[in-house]
Chains A and B, each alone.
Chain A
């Protein structure tokens, strides 16, 4: 079952609307993302990046194509082959550009809820949530409501929530837009560390070209079509993924 890939897509296509209003947001996207691989997704506005991310995140079924997660076929066209919600709960962590915290829960409760839906006890989830907030440097804001946090602080809480369940894949849509350069880079490095330590597959949509060196692979999208970035191909003479595999193979 486990073929070393965190995410595989085959011929993923998404068409919004129909007739005159038809928009092909994603066209025949086929990618393979290994466990432990950290992928950047670049592309102009409207090119289909979010569409790809939400499709892989199982919240936006594709019109055609297949999605495999951890080697398991999850989506066959628009049809889900398993209960997508429980799948998301266990294996997928999301971070989105707009802060997506629940306003009536405190910072720490926003992290806890992700654990509680996976049947963590209240005390254990609180302890784990606190660790994550500490890790992201916002533990002093743990009991504040999201509305009283700065954009960057909110984003870090959202990252903590995405990491809470040690997901197999992390999907982040411009997670660092609200963070300053140093913090943004810190979050990217956190993703990278996680990926390399736990074999998590990470896809990050970003516009921040300065941080591209953190990523193992860079893809670019345009008009719904995905391709490996040329700068990336030049940059990755020796692929960190392969390094990784060598390391893993050695142990």
Chain B
């Protein structure tokens, strides 16, 4: 007969409550690692989804995700000229925070290289890819923008034509995809007054310079709109994504690009590492510490509960010793209860987690590896937590069954 189970049945209410408590704690531990996985997944999602072999960014920056990077748009054409390059695409990425229906909405704006990339490769769950090179957008479900919704960003309104799922920026904001031109318009949305003031300032600088005084026509030119002045460069993009031809290694192309002194180049793997070592690293350590603390707390609580469960049974344990039950039988009872507590708690953690994690504001990803690891940890703390109770049970003298 199984003493552990018999005792639990006798004290069912208390054991059930305890197990639920331990389960909730373990669920938080589970959730913590899920949040961590989610952060990593979100952070590296764009790098993975863009399927670029190489990233060309502003010289000496770790952009475009870990920090701001600016490269001229014509870098695309230079990159295309390198032997072994199959495609080069513009990449524009920046985060904006606006207000919608009185609530803040954070959008990670991504520019798609129209017309080579219309967003067909995105995981669309509703709607379609971009069909026009202006005023359309694909929004992630996380943004809460329904299909057909028009949202004003800068001077223009954009219509949601497609919905994606789980396309999240490294900061946890939903992604929205526009054409590069639209993405830049949103980024460099300069009010009319600012444009006017800037033109005026240029004009004044022109009239004050020697050249302006000698050549008044030049000041006229300086007064023009920015894109009408050849000496002012085009708007800058964040990075250029390069894919190499089959049979060419990204490393060989990277070696050529590395020779260019105005840009830096990273492989996709390198870009991932930059992300993980940079913005994600602190979060990882933070969450890691939390996990360790929670695991310890769960262990202590389990130990305490098993200890009190054992204390309540000391008289019965003494009695078992009195009638000659061997230690292994008594310790087996405590150990089995500890394991049962751990296993059932883990099951509760998993079942509750499955239901409530999807409602979390950031993604919680349970990987098999993490689940197995936690299961192993739970087994270990179950065994360790029973030590206190076992220690007490070992020391009970059989004649204590006669007192009290």
Contacts and interface: CB of A to CB of B under 8 A. Distances in A.
- In the A-B complex, the 9 residue pairs with the smallest Cβ-Cβ separation, listed nearest first, are A89-B324, A104-B10, A59-B399, A88-B324, A59-B398, A104-B7, A117-B325, A102-B316, A60-B399
SS class, residues of chain B in contact with chain A? helix
B118 to A, nearest CB: 69
11 contacts: A87-B324, A89-B323, A103-B316, A104-B3, A104-B7, A104-B11, A109-B6, A113-B3, A113-B320, A113-B323, A117-B323
Nearest to A105: B6
A104 B9 contact: yes
B402 A50 contact: yes
Interface string A222-234: 0000000000000
A51 B321 CA distance: 18
A33 interface: no
A145 interface: yes
Contact of A102 (B11, B319, B402): B319
Interface string B62-86: 0000000000000000000000000
B316 A104 contact: yes
Contacts of B320: 102, 113, 117
Interface residues on B, range: 20 to 34
Interface centre among A59, A86, A88, A145 (most CB of B within 10 A): A59
Nearest to A91: B324
B10 A103 contact: yes
Contacts of B322: 59, 88, 94, 100
B397 interface: yes
Interface string A79-94: 0000001111110101
Contacts of A89: 323-326
A86 B326 contact: yes
Nearest to A90: B324
A161 B316 CA distance: 15
A59 B318 CA distance: 10
Contacts of B329: 117
Given A104-B7, A104-B316, A105-B6, A114 B323 contact: yes
Given A88-B324, A89-B325, 9 more contacts: A54-B399, A89-B326, A92-B324, A94-B322, A96-B401, A104-B9, A105-B3, A113-B3, A173-B402
Contacts of B194: none
A145 B10 contact: yes
A161 B325 CA distance: 13
Contacts of A116: 1
Given A60-B399, A103-B316, A161 B6 contact: no
B1 A122 contact: yes
Interface in A108-152: 109, 112-114, 116-118, 122, 145
A116 B323 CA distance: 11
